[in-house]
Chain A
């Protein structure tokens, strides 16, 4: 099985590659359209800022490529936000795979709720979905983000911080996780291995 990890100007990509390696998967970091279109699975990782990332993707026509992919596709963290319609982060038009808006966390009480939302938080309201099969309990994932995707019809799991937000999205061949599965111990490992088995 060939896994393409999309190479663009986003941080934290190495950890995703190591996590896949630990699962025994063969992954290649690439921005070669040929390789991405011919991979069995595609992973779109990321950490960074939305508008810079979108500018980079458009300049290399990776935005179009991502919309054309038919294989199982997984967005992670910023990857999830870029797959949405629009992000409040520098008012950015995103890829629009999910008709969902990305908003900034606004705490009512900044002493109680710090932004970014950093740390381990729990998955809740899990739908019956192949990605969520047999996750170990308790289902904690590691989060680092200041923006979140609103709840939507594509939401298949939520997490609570200030309010409920979208933890995981699914539509057709696209899945996306707001947390960092590559850094989320056994629960994250199971999410990744579930994705690899789709």
Chain B
């Protein structure tokens, strides 16, 4: 049986792991390669590396870091942050990334999703969607959640799937950093409407939050950062809990 995935996210700045509360304040949480190895050994199903300063500073994610990670770990990982062209993707996949994720670039030029999917296959193209509730309607935001767009989240999710995205990484900016639980309703709505997997992100604070996002939220995978980095929830414990709750999980 296909299992639900637990994905620690490592936010990267200047080659170090950081996690912002609501993406603004940053705290240093260590060496990404070392942390990746620990997570892989602890049973993380996948990892996401996000160069959070990339879009803002127009910097490219360091391919050298990707190579170091690929050499060190034997689970899949996704790299995102500031990726905008087919050439960017090629560099990162050749460096050893399994998937890449695009966000702002897809909003700016949706055709790039088709282009990347055609060139490399849908399986390695993740489209990250940062969403925020604006007067009762969910709208896509870019630039680390700071910049609102006119795109409605559900419609955009459908469009990126139609254009060839292999997975959607859905981050609720309203929940991110709150530790009050994932955006289960919105996640369920999008997951049910699409035929591609949805990774839920933003709001994980307790182990039952993960159970909720897999059941009520219909998520295929759940992503979190600080609760893993600061060992508030150890991955082996989380997995045992979820198995006990009847969720299909890889031991």
- Which residues does A use to contact B, with CB under 8 Å? 11-12, 14-15, 18-19, 21-22, 47-49, 107, 110-111, 114-122, 138, 140, 142-146, 160-161, 180, 182-186, 188-189
Shortest Cβ-Cβ A-B pairs, 4 listed? A120-B250, A140-B250, A144-B123, A110-B195
B interface residues (Cβ-Cβ under 8 A, vs A):
1-5, 40, 45, 70-71, 74-76, 93-96, 98, 120-124, 166-167, 191-192, 194-197, 218, 220-221, 250-251
Provide a sorted-by-A list of 15 A–B residue pairs whose CB atoms are within 8 angstroms.
A12-B93, A14-B95, A18-B71, A48-B121, A118-B166, A120-B5, A138-B251, A142-B75, A142-B76, A144-B76, A144-B123, A145-B123, A182-B74, A183-B76, A184-B74
Is the beta-carbon distance between B74 and A160 smaller than 8 angstroms?
no
Partner of A189, one of B3, B74, B96, B122: B74
| Residue numbers in B under 8 Å from A143 (CB-CB) | 2
Q: Whole-angstrom distance from the CB of A186 to the nearest CB of chain B?
A: 8
Per the bound structure, the CA–CA distance linking A120 and B52 in Å amounts to 28
Pairwise interchain contact A11-B1, C-beta atoms closer than 8 A: no
Distance (Å) between the CB of B99 and the closest chain A CB?
Answer: 9
Complex contacts, B194 vs chain A, CB 8 Å: 114
Report the bound CA distance from A189 to B220 in whole Å: 25
Chain B residues whose CB sits within 8 angstroms of the CB of A114 once the complex forms: 194-197, 220
User: B2's contact among A18, A47, A48, A121, by CB below 8 Å, is which?
Assistant: A121
A interface majority secondary structure: mixed
Distance of A49 Cα from B122 Cα, bound (Å): 10
Contact of B74 among A110, A111, A145, A185 (CB under 8 A): A185
Q: Is the CB of A11 within 8 A of B121?
A: yes
Are A118 and B98 within 8 A (Cβ)? no
A contact residues around B192 at 8 Å (CB): 111
Interface centre among A47, A118, A146, A186, by most B CB within 10 Å?
A118
* A97 CB, nearest partner CB in chain B, Å: 23
Chain A residue, CB-CB nearest to B76? A183
A114-B195, A119-B2, A180-B76 known; 10 other A-B pairs, CB under 8 Å? Answer: A15-B96, A18-B96, A22-B74, A47-B123, A118-B123, A118-B166, A120-B2, A120-B250, A122-B1, A138-B251
A119 adjacent to B45 (CB under 8 Å) = yes
Chain A residue nearest to B167 (CB atoms) is A118
Contact B196 A47 (CB under 8 A): no
Q: Is the CB of A19 within 8 A of B2?
A: no
Closest to A12 in B: B98
Q: Which of B2, B192, B196, B218 has the most CB of A within 10 A?
A: B2
Given contacts A49-B121, A116-B122, A119-B45, contact A14 B75 (CB under 8 A): no
- The smallest C-beta distance from B220 to any residue of chain A, in angstroms, reads 6
- In the complex, the answer to whether B1 meets A121 with C-beta atoms within 8 Å is yes
A126 to B131: give the CA distance in the assembly, Å.
44
Contacting pair A183 B74 (CB below 8 A): yes
Q: Are A161 and B2 in contact (CB-based, < 8 A)?
A: yes
Residues of chain B lying within 8 A (CB to CB) of residue A160: 1
User: Chain B residues with Cβ under 8 A from A146's Cβ?
Assistant: 122-123
Bound complex: CA A12 to CA B97 (Å)? 8
Return A118 CB to nearest CB of chain B, in Å: 5
The listed residue (A14, A110, A120, A138) touching B70 by CB distance below 8 A is: A14
Q: Which residues of B contact A48 (CB under 8 A)?
A: 120-121
Q: In the complex, which residue of chain A has the Cβ closest to the Cβ of B95?
A: A14
Do residues B220 and A19 form an inter-chain contact, with CB atoms below 8 A? no
Q: How far apart are the CA atoms of A144 and B77 in the complex, in Å?
A: 13
Complex: chain B residue closest to A122, CB-CB: B1
